[in-house]
Copies of this chain bind each other. A is one copy, B any other.
Amino acid sequence: MANNLVISDVARVFGLRPSAIRYYEQIGILPPPARRNGQRRYEKSALLRLAVVQRARESGFTLSEIRELFFGFRPAMRPPQRWRKLSERKIAELQTRMKRLKMMETLLKRMQDCRCDALDECGEKMLSRRSAERA
């Protein structure tokens, strides 16, 4: 089976550089893989983990948040309660972020329609309509 991917393969699959993968290992986000002649050989589990890491990164998690996520999940405070707490918090954060993005989108769209010739004027309008937005 394909338990023999070298670092450059993994890097290509995920659009990362090998150095990034070594870095993830170094900071404990990726477990140290087996070696052949001193070279890292990755198997499926590493790819799965990287996939999760990648998605979390894309949605704005920092690497230490991601590490928290992994560690919170693993050492098993009996049932993964710590994990549950953590992910609840992260979900709330995601929802906040989504709201912000939505607001910024509205803001940009509104500015496209406007004929102000200075952005500040535009800002004024937005701020005045802002309360309506929140409700």
Contacts and interface: CB of A to CB of B under 8 A. Distances in A.
Contacts of A45: 120
Given A94-B101, A102-B98, A119 B87 contact: no
Interface string A92-103: 001101101111
B126 A112 contact: no
What is the oligomeric copy number? 2
A109 B84 CA distance: 9
Interface of A: 45, 48-49, 51-52, 55-56, 58-61, 69-70, 73-74, 76, 80, 83-84, 87-88, 90-91, 94-95, 97-98, 100-105, 107-109, 111-112, 117-120, 122-124, 126-127
